[in-house]
Amino acid sequence: MAAPFRCGFVAVVGRPNVGKSTLINSILGSKVSIVTPKPQTTRHRILGVDTRADYQAIYIDTPGLHRQAGKAMNRLMNRTAAQALLDADLVLFVSEAGRWTVEDQDVLERLSTVKVPVIAVLNKVDKVHPKETLLACLGEMSARRQFAEVVPICARRGDDAETVAGLVNGYLPESEALFPADMQTDRSEEFRIAEIIREKLTLDLRQELPYGLTVQVERLERDENGVVCHAVIWVERESQKGIVVGKQGSRLKAMGRAARLELKQSLQCPVHLELWVKVRENWADNEKDLLRLGYESP
């Protein structure tokens, strides 16, 4: 008799910038979430659907949980991550091997009320030196709470991602698939295009500015010649506009070209990108503006 099919939601949580999105992208073998070295890159709840012969795991990529949630956007991101815990059948708690912070401790404390199994994923093991200390890292994590599993990985490595995927199956409830087998994410094409543009901006701009900008696709048209996309880059202050545009438009052109090349490869067709930079004062601290710009309030 064949084993029953399993399906469930897997919340991937942790402090900002520990590799949650990298792990999900690696498991799926596809980029459903943008990735940069800077915190707050993931701002939305994004589903990544991994369908195999005998199970379907629906990964919930969440914003990193913030200790200091000063702006409305940070508070909304914290609520989004907290809601994912309520929806989950399994939790992957991602932290960095050999580096434990107060923000990691905050996330761990949030998990104290979670009733479903929690797997501790120690990421970035490639940065642990000397390698003999990894055993101590695993022991320290195991002592912090009763985890279903404690797994050391490097999320960028495909074989390590497969190790995590293999463990997940055993904790999912028996259920029919909730999404079509060929579906990898619940997000629209417009959303994914806006995120790719924001990724290129975040990679290029200095440390503080990426947190004050967002991208909104205003128009998307597709015909036999490819895709035409009109998008607005929103910043919080007039002084930020010139930084994004750059001298004689150089930064905006370079960033637009990088985004267009990735989108051309992703969409498998020519892409024409029209970008504008506009100011909306303090949009990141105004919940009504956040909702207008596509952020969700759980």
- How far apart are the C-alpha atoms of 283 and 232, rounded to whole Å? 14
Residue 1's pLDDT is 65
Q: What is the pLDDT of residues 101-117, one digit of tens each?
A: 999 999 999 999 999 99
Please state the pTM of the whole predicted model.
Answer: 0.92
At residue 54, does pLDDT exceed 80? Answer: yes
Residue listed under structure tokens 């992957």:
92
State residue 271's pLDDT score.
96
pLDDT grade for 63, boundaries at 50, 70 and 90: confident
Instruction: Check residue 94 and give its pLDDT.
Output: 97
Query: What value does the mean pLDDT take over residues 88-97?
Result: 96
* pLDDT at residue 36 is higher than 90: no
Residue 175: the pLDDT is 96
Band of the pLDDT at 85, cuts 50, 70, 90?
confident
What are 117's strand-pairing partners?
Answer: none
Q: What would the pLDDT profile of 10-27 be if each residue is shown by its tens digit?
A: 999 998 889 999 999 999
d(CA 32, CA 56): 16
- Find, among 203, 194, 191, the residue nearest to 273 by Cα: 194
Torsion sign, CA atoms 114, 142, 157, 126: positive
Span 255-263, average pLDDT? 95
Amino acid 137: pLDDT:
92
Does the pLDDT at position 66 exceed 70? no
What's the rounded Cα separation, in Å, for the pair 176 and 180?
Answer: 11
Summarize the confidence of residues 263-271 as an average pLDDT: 94
Q: What pLDDT score was predicted for residue 194?
A: 96
The percentage of residues in the chain with a pLDDT greater than 70, rounded to a whole number, is: 96
What whole-number distance in Å separates Cα of residue 136 and Cα of residue 254? 45
Report the pLDDT value the prediction gives residue 252, as an integer from 0 to 100.
94
Which one has a higher pLDDT value, 296 or 262?
Answer: 262
Which range among 58-72, 151-165, 220-234, 270-284 shows the weakest confidence by mean pLDDT? 58-72
pLDDT of residue 210: 65
Sign of CA dihedral 156, 160, 164, 169: positive
Note whether 65 and 78 are within 8 A (CB).
yes
Give the mean pLDDT of the chain: 91
Q: What percent of the chain has pLDDT over 90?
A: 69
The answer to whether 153 and 160 have CB atoms below 8 angstroms apart is yes
**All domains of the chain, ordered by start, with CATH?**
6-169 (3.40.50.300), 189-292 (3.30.300.20)
Over residues 153-210, the pLDDT tens digits come to 999 887 899 999 999 999 999 999 999 999 999 999 999 999 999 999 988 887 666 6
Amino acid identity, position 227: V
277 vs 130, residue with greater confidence: 277
Q: Given this model, what pLDDT does residue 74 score?
A: 83
